[in-house]
Amino acid sequence: MEYQIATNASAFNSISAMNSANTYRILLADDHQVVLDGLTMLLQKEDDLNIVGRAQNGSELIDMLRTKDVDLVITDINMPEMDGISSTTSIRKNYPDLRILVLSMHDDSNYITAVLKAGANGYLVKNAGRKEVLKAIRKVINGESYYSPEAAKAVMDNMGSSRNEMPGLSDREKQIVKLICEEFTTREIAEKLFLSFHTVEKHRKNIIAKLDVRNTAGLVKWAIRNGIC
């Protein structure tokens, strides 16, 4: 039986109930062919799991979703053209009830926190074994969340650390970061802190250099990932 992706919670629940006796449709996204092949071999052995497409980047993933009925997306984070965080954000906006499981080599809390904030329902590190992968898939596809032990520990460690820590920044630079997060312009920050426009600009450039980000947008993204904004 064919049907469209659910657009609300009640519709998704009824679809899940119908699907319980049938198969779940899964779309894979990873830029490494060996990972796609390995997942394909694993899932093909399961009667209730059906791969309906394989994408090698986030853009291709988004394009496939426009033409395919999908119950679960399994995606990597680091991919060309559009990464897993951006594609997850797009999926959550356009397909709010579609389930998303991230399968990544990263166990860094910043990556994990960022993709969960983007809307992923689960996070699995690529060293997971067959049983854990299948367990994660079935939990996420049935409306639950799943985090591998490494991912869960990274998130808890991140939560346990000081959310306002900004290592390497002066007190003035920390003030400026917080004001940037609150959408104050350079001129407004200068007036608020009784500084010149050029002084604030110099601080902003120093902050970007210290945090090793490319621009103000990267600065804000870093601040969100670290619980500053």
Max mean pLDDT among 89-93, 110-114, 159-163, 208-212 falls in 89-93
pLDDT score at 5:
36
**Domain end among 135, 159, 183:** 159
For the chain, give me the number of helices (H) and strands (E)?
11, 6
Residue 118, domain CATH = 3.40.50.2300
Same domain, 76 and 182: no
Q: What is the mean pLDDT of the chain?
A: 82
Same domain, 118 and 209: no
Does an H or E element contain 71, and which?
Answer: none
Residue 214, domain CATH = 1.10.10.10
Q: What is the pLDDT of residues 212-225, one digit of tens each?
A: 888 887 788 777 77
pLDDT score at 155:
61
In a domain, 164, yes or no: no
Range of the domain at 116: 9-159
d(CA 197, CA 97): 46
**Is the predicted pLDDT of residue 9 greater than 60, yes or no?**
no
d(CA 158, CA 141): 27
Q: 72 pLDDT band (50/70/90 cuts)?
A: very high
pLDDT score at 162:
42
